[in-house]
Structure 1
Amino acid sequence: MTDLAAAKLPTYRCTVVPEWIDYNGHMSEAFYVLVFGFATDQVMDELGMDQLYRQETQCSLYTVEAHIRYLLETGLGAELTVTTVIAGAGPKKLHLAHEMHAGGQLIATEEILALHVNTRTQRTEHFPPAVSDNITSFRLTSGQQTPEWVGRKLTA
């Protein structure tokens, strides 16, 4: 990361493809999860946990809990953007809040809790200092507040 004062997690962008459309003519719920997963991968890269890091350290993020809200439908060809903020973090965990937009409207959210895991031992490990510093810098300088929907319980 080069400029801590400008540190902001990048926006993930993609387009809804035909394979993602369900029998109702809308993007299927599984593909919302896929897009959010790609956004998480981009966050990992930005924080210093890219492919080379995973190969060299044998460590990665494992999502252990997720909460998705499907707010609006979207369809074929829609341009999707996913913005992400770090809602919380600890020595071995990362709490992310993703917001998916299409056509300028919020269509879905995902909140995840991920653990930093050594893939050889299957045990959690502390983030190394460089990654921990990146998490802190993005969390403190993103200029974004934690969304109000983070931490909500499911309601009937």
Structure 2
Amino acid sequence: MTFSVWREPVQDAWIDYNGHLSEPYYVLVMGHATDAVMDAIGLGPAYRSENDASLYTVEAHVRYLEEVSPGGEIEVRSSIIGVAPKLLWIWHELWVADRLRATEEVLGVHVRGGSSAPLPDGVAAVARDACVTPPAEAGRRIGPIPAHR
């Protein structure tokens, strides 16, 4: 189940020498989607400035599944797939023209005043209520590194 949807057009400046979306811009757009999730659960700009607190990404895994061409509109469908006292797991799916182009799994830690801290009760409750079963692709890692000679 999608918790939040973020849309934004592909910018010409984001297109690389291969004629498609350059890899850092997948992460940029999914970062904007993370901000939208934060806003939706109560960790928006007002919360951040009033509490010297935010969600920091401590780990992310991106899968580039298909190229994104110039001129399209990106839609990122985001779900919350895990909640712990200080942690939030977010799953992003980046779609263009009704085709899945990339996914990103993000692990964020709640930080207040420079140190990890429990999520506020209300935020944790909203996140728990929105939490869905992770997709089969979540929790994967890059395969074992072969021995090199």
Report the equivalent of 1:17.
11
Query: Structure 1 CA distance, aligned partners of 2:133 and 2:98?
Result: 19
| Deviation at residue 109 of structure 1 after TM alignment | 0.3
Contact 2:2-2:78 within 8 A present in 1 as well: no
TM-score between the two structures when normalised by the length of structure 2? 0.92
**1:8 to partner: Cα distance:** 5.4
Distance 2:133 2:9 in 1: 27
Give the aligned partner of residue 94 of structure 1: 88
- 1:3 match: none
Measured in 2, the distance between the counterparts of 1:112 and 1:133 equals 19
For normalisation by structure 1, the TM-score amounts to 0.88
Q: Distance in 2 between matches of 1:137 and 1:46?
A: 12
- Report what 2:77 is aligned to: 83
Moved over 2 A (4+): none
1:146 corresponds to which of 121, 126, 134: 134
Q: Distance in 2 between matches of 1:149 and 1:8?
A: 16
**Which digits, 9 at most, give the CA deviation of each residue in 1:59-102, with x for residues without a partner?**
10000001000000011111111111111110100011111111
Tell me, what secondary structure is at the counterpart of 1:151? coil
Partner of 2:119 in structure 1? 127
- Aligned identity (percent) is 42
Q: Unaligned stretches of 5+ in structure 2?
A: 145-149
Structure 1, residues 102-153: CA drift from partner, whole Å, max 9, x if none? 11111000001100001x3x210111111111111211xxxx5421100112
| Count, aligned residues | 144
CA–CA separation in structure 2 for the residues paired with 1:8 and 1:67:
19
Of 24, 27, 34, the residue aligned with 1:30 is: 24
Which amino acid in the other structure matches residue 28 of structure 1? Answer: S
Q: Report what 1:4 is aligned to.
A: none
2:68 corresponds to which residue?
74
Aligned 8 A contact 2:21 2:70 in 1: yes
Match of 1:61 in 2: 55
Amino acid in structure 2 at the alignment position of 1:116: H
**Residue segments in structure 1 that go unaligned for 5+ positions in a row:** 1-6
Structure 1 Cα separation of the partners of residues 127 and 88 of structure 2: 9
Q: Kindly indicate whether the alpha-carbon contact (under 8 Å) linking 2:4 and 2:79 is maintained by their aligned counterparts in 1.
A: no
Question: 1:46 is matched with which residue?
Answer: 40
